[in-house]
Structures are given as structure tokens and as C-alpha cells.
Amino acid sequence: MNAINLVMQAGIVAKAVLGILLVFSLACWTIIFLKVSAFRRADRQDERFLRVFREGKNLANTYEECRRYSHSPLAILFREGYRELVAGLKGGNPGPATPAGQPETAGRGPEIPIEAFLARLSRMLRHASLREVSTLERSLMFLATTGNVAPFVGLFGTVWGIMDAFHSIGMTGSANLGAVAPGIAEALIATAAGIAVAIPGVMGYNYFLNRIKGVATRMDLFTLEFLGIAERLALRVGRG
């Protein structure tokens, strides 16, 4: 008697338990594949954007180039920071309509002390960073829920299968293998299914949390780098 036959011969409760676990499993693997693809795309675009950012002649050109990297958290962070930087140094719109679009070469400097301007810029970058982290964390709670709930769903099927086995013993008045095997088989299949669904959920959740920490660290380092550039520009414009 193979597993498929056991499932087909299982009672309605056991089938319902396996059906619930199947839905959890399909949703879990869908999230895992989508997240893997999203993180790979973000990593590739972050790498390309950093190359453009560090090799670019000025921030205006980088601002125009970063539109190509819509899935890069660093490009999104830069775009937010550049808008605030240009608005603070020039008091104008940071888009393509800004004259020359170069805060490096023109401006009257921030209207508030440089320390306050940099603090405001830092808060804005931090807000953008947290928003990106929140986007990356989306759907991860389902993986954690699957890892926690699936074993208990399987355990319910296990208990029900054992109850069915004892019911068979009471009906037949015998504890031979033929009487208890179907119920015990249902119980074992439910247990195995619950564990099989929970393991990818837990592993996926922990893996993606680690990846998110890496992205968050990358954004923090970029924020420090951008703030250093902003400070130099603010001091230069202020002296000008």
C-alpha cells in the first residue's frame, strides 16, 4: 500500500488536513520563489547602480540614470536623497527642470544651519530605507506562520488517525495489524506532511531575514556615503 493509495483511502478529516497542508505548501513555495527572484534582481541592480553612482561625473547624471534601476533599493534611496539635497541647496524642484540639475556647481546653500540640514536629510534617507525594508519583508510573515502552524495541523491529523485506529479496535474487538493499520497510516502521513510543509517555511523565513539584514546594511552604508557627499556640497555652496 503506497502513500497515494493511503491518501485516497483516508477519511474525510484526514483528506481535509492534507488539503490544508497542500494549500500552505503551495503558497509557501510561491512566496519563496518570488522572493528569491526579487532579491536577485535587487542585488543585480544595486551592483549596477553603485557602479554608475561611483563612476558618474555628477549627481544629476546619476539621478537620470537611476530611473533605469527601479528595483534597486539603493537607487530608490539615492533618488529620495537627491531630491531633498537639491531642494535644500537650491530651494527649487530637483527634477530635470532644475537648471543644469547640478547642486555641485550652483546654489545659495541651505537656508538652515548645515548640521540641521544634514540631520533632516539623514531622517529622510532613514525613512526611505525603512520603507524599502518593509517592502522586502512583505509576505514573510506567512512563511513564519506556516512554519509554526503546519506541524500542529499535521498533529491534528495524527491524533485523528490514532482515534480512528482505536475506533477500529473497538469495532472489531481485535488489535491485529489489519484493524489498526489504516488509522496509524493516516496519522503518520499527516505527521510527515505537517513537518514537510513547516521546514521550507522556517528555512525560507530565516534565509530571507538574513538577506534583508544584508540589504539594510548596504543601505546604511550608502546613506553614510551620500551624507558625506551632501556635507561636502553644502560646505562648498555655503562658502560660495
Rounded CA separation 124/132 (Å): 13
The region of weakest confidence among 3-7, 144-148, 192-196, 199-203 is 3-7
What is the spatial distance between Cα 214 and Cα 220, in angstroms, rounded to a whole number?
10
User: What confidence tens digit (pLDDT) does each residue in 40-88 have?
Assistant: 999 999 999 999 998 877 888 899 888 889 899 999 999 999 998 888 8
Please answer whether residues 74 and 219 qualify as being in contact, where contact means their C-beta atoms are separated by less than 8 angstroms: yes
pLDDT digits (tens, 9 = 90+) for 142-152: 999 999 999 99
**Residue 214: all three cell numbers together:** 544584508
pTM: 0.79
Q: What is the pLDDT of residue 160?
A: 76
Mention every residue, 6+ apart, whose C-beta is less than 8 A from residue 17: 153, 154, 156, 157, 160, 190, 193
Residue 67 DSSP symbol: G
**Residue 21 to residue 27: CA distance in whole angstroms:** 10
Rg (CA), the chain: 29
Phi-psi region of 2 (alpha: psi -120 to 50; beta: other; left: phi over 0): beta
